[in-house]
Amino acid sequence: MARERAGARPLELTGFRADVVAGLSRPQKSLPPKYFYDAAGSRLFARICRLPEYYVTRAELALTRRHLAAIARFAGRGCQLIEYGSGEGIKSRLLVRALRPSVYVPIDISEDALRAAASGLAREFPWLHIVPVAGDFSRPIDIPLRRGTPSVVYFPGSTIGNLTPEEAHAFLSMSRGVAAKMIVGVDLKKDPAALHAAYNDKAGVTAAFNLNLLSRINRELGADFDLRRFRHYAFYNPAAGRIEMHLVALGSHTVRLGRHRFQFAEGETIHTENSYKYSPEEFAGLATEAGFRGTKLWTDRRGLFAVFGLSA
Ligand code: SAH
Ligand code: AVI
């Protein structure tokens, strides 16, 4: 696999068209969730984080504030802090303040979100050395790190839940090669009704986030998706332990993308995202299988969300 350098144009953008064509050619049509995050998608995700139904962000923020001293003791002050999928960086500022890292490396596929977050943090923490890296964490990324200073990987937001357990295992193993310690946010199994509400908000922001993927394909690849012919559909699949997001075709029709034609039957879906929910034991098991020996666990008062401190 090719390597990306810090600041280089992300390779995933050149693969966008190939991934879309491959995904829409499968018997169960699917699209990789990493493509949700263009500038519009990142703005919609920021709105999701503030929705009354989306407990995820509030629960993780509350528990990070509550256990910040213990999390900082685990990570160690002055470390090199590497954050995958940093987005808006809402929680990052808590860690930056508590850890005073020698360098902070936010990594995100969404260049707009990355740039905006980095300049916000630079204003708030003038002493902070920030090295933003635009890149796709599902591929190898060269991270400019100093030898001799301990590194800590931060992966909040339950973004790990958007990976299959196999991908999550591979990600954890990769991360263990980058840093001996990892702080990871994991959404916990809970009442399916609460999960259902979180991904089916009344204001329709999650629906707009899901549908933006088709708008992006139209904008960037010149496809002719008619957004009125697709509906957001999200549900909890208890056997798989995950929320599934789909886009359902309303009526049979054909979508064009260059020389390709994709036929949709009435009710057929494009599977756009999984969001896995773990029990604390399940996630600790996954971390152990990926080679982490030490596991610390912090949760919010209501037991909605967990932050794990993993050491190799
Ligand atoms: N960490 C933030 C944002 C979570 S949203 C929080 O906790 O609120 C997921 C973030 O991961 C988005 O900013 C998205 O752009 C980024 N992302 C998703 N897939 C990615 C990938 N394959 N490589 C790099 N960044 C990715
Ligand atoms: C980024 N990720 C953890 C979010 C989630 O909850 O799976 C993305 C999201 N999809 C719909 N709402 C939020």
Ligand 1: residue whose CA is nearest its atom 9: 85
Q: What is the predicted pLDDT for the residue at 8?
A: 42
pLDDT exceeds cutoff 90 at 294: no
Tell me the C-alpha distance between 44 and 152, whole Å.
29
Q: Tens of pLDDT along 189-224?
A: 999 999 999 999 999 999 999 999 999 999 999 999
Q: How do residues 158-167 score in pLDDT, each as one tens digit?
A: 999 999 999 9
The partner residues of 275 in beta bridges, in order of sequence, read 243
Long-range CB contacts (< 8 A, 24+ apart) of 296-300? 296/70, 296/74, 298/63, 298/66, 298/67, 298/70, 298/71, 299/63, 299/188, 300/59, 300/60, 300/62, 300/63, 300/66
For residue 14, the model assigns a pLDDT of 59
- Choosing from 43, 86, 108 the residue with most ligand 1 atoms within 8 A of its CB, the one to mutate for a pocket test is 108
- Beta-carbon contacts of 264 under 8 Å, excluding residues fewer than 6 positions away, are 229, 249, 252, 253, 254, 255
158 ligand 2 Cβ < 6 A: yes
- Indicate whether this model's pTM tops 0.85: yes
Q: Where are the beta strands (DSSP E) in 250-304?
A: 253-257, 260-264, 269-276, 294-299
107-119: pLDDT as tens digits: 999 999 999 999 9
Nearest CA to ligand 1 atom 20: 34
Average pLDDT of the chain, as a whole number: 95
Residues 10-59: pLDDT tens digits?
Answer: 444 459 999 999 999 999 999 999 999 999 999 999 999 999 999 999 99
Which band of pLDDT confidence, cut at 50, 70 and 90, is reported for residue 1? very low
**Best residue for ligand 1 mutational test, from 51, 158, 159 (most atoms within 8 Å of Cβ):** 159
159 in ligand 1 pocket by Cβ < 6 Å? yes
Q: Distances from the Cα of 145 to the Cαs of 105, 142, 151, in angstroms?
A: 9, 9, 8
Task: Kindly report, residue by residue over 298-309, the tens digit of the pLDDT.
Answer: 999 999 999 999
The interaxial angle of helices 55-66 and 92-99, nearest 10 deg, is 10
State the average pLDDT over residues 271-277. 99
Angle at 213 (CA atoms; ends 208, 219), nearest 5 degrees: 110
For ligand 1, the distance from its centroid to the CA atom of residue 267, given in whole angstroms, is 30
pLDDT value of residue 245: 99
